[in-house]
Amino acid sequence: MTTTDDIEIPKRKCFVALFDILGFKDLVKTDNLDEVYKTFRGILNIKSDINEMAGHLDALLQENCISMHNYSDTFLIYTSDINNCDQKTVDKRFHALLASCDSLFISANENKLPIRGAISAGELIISEGIYIGKPIVEAYENEQQQEWIGCCISNDAINLISKDALNDHIREKAVVLYEVPCKDGDIKKVYVYNWTLSVLFKKGDYRILNKRDRHDWPTERKHRNTWDFIKFVNISE
């Protein structure tokens, strides 16, 4: 008989990004199954686009570097193990995670689905449908605190990449230091992923901010906070 004492714990260290669709729970509560179905089809489209991007990245880097798990309206994107990797490889995998986030936001925009997320890093266990670890909890908590459409990056993730890599991302404005609006009116100055760099967003195509007729989604405050960020990154160019 196998017991837990006989199990080898499949721990890994990696970068993690967790995203939720804003307003999905409230939509389900309205019992409007037609809209729920349309929204879920959009979620499946996002899942397909992320997997396609992961395939491109794997081919480009010649390794399986990005994986994704989706449950309901939540997306968990994570890199392959960075334990025992040199710094160059660690930096490449963080860059690959940001590229996957690009794909997610572009797809969410095309499907008019507002999303919010957080990036973290550290040790976790992913095996046989089990996804547990501090980085996932941290990403979830940080994601829930924010009052906008956007994605913050934890210090744990920032501290794993080299200063040169961080400076490159800052220079390219893929990562910016920003005062993130949080619940209860709090403000946290942290690094965030700049999702507005896509060509679509540069052309002013912000379908991700479209309001639905059924109710104010996203809320007015989240809507206003997101536009403040868009103006901030455009002015700072």
Domains of the chain, start order: 10-235 (3.30.70.1230)
DSSP for residue 195: G
The whole-chain average pLDDT of the chain stands at 84
Read off the pLDDT of residues 127-186 as tens digits, 9 standing for 90 and up.
878 888 999 999 999 999 999 999 999 999 999 999 999 999 999 999 999 999 998 889
Global model pTM greater than 0.75:
yes
**Closest C-alpha to 115, from 227, 180, 21:** 21
How high is the pLDDT of residue 176?
A: 97
Which helix or strand (DSSP H or E) is residue 66 part of? strand 66-71
DSSP for residue 146: B
Virtual CA dihedral for 77, 18, 22, 24, nearest 10 degrees? 70
What are the beta bridge partners of residue 126? 131
Task: Tell me the angle at which helices 87-110 and 33-61 cross, rounded to the nearest 10 degrees.
Answer: 150
Read off the pLDDT of residues 196-214 as tens digits, 9 standing for 90 and up.
987 567 677 788 787 554 4
Read off the pLDDT of residues 139-148 as tens digits, 9 standing for 90 and up.
999 999 999 9
How high is the pLDDT of residue 213?
A: 44
Average pLDDT over residues 101-120: 88
How high is the pLDDT of residue 216?
A: 47
End-to-end CA distance of the chain, in Å?
63
- Tell me the C-alpha distance between 213 and 166, whole Å: 41
210 neighbors 112 (Cβ within 8 angstroms): yes
Read off the pLDDT of residues 31-58 as tens digits, 9 standing for 90 and up.
677 777 677 677 677 777 667 776 766 5
Contacts 24+ apart (CB under 8 A), 47-54: 47/75, 49/103, 49/104, 49/106, 49/107, 50/75, 50/77, 50/100, 50/103, 50/104, 50/107, 52/103, 53/99, 53/100, 53/102, 53/103, 54/100
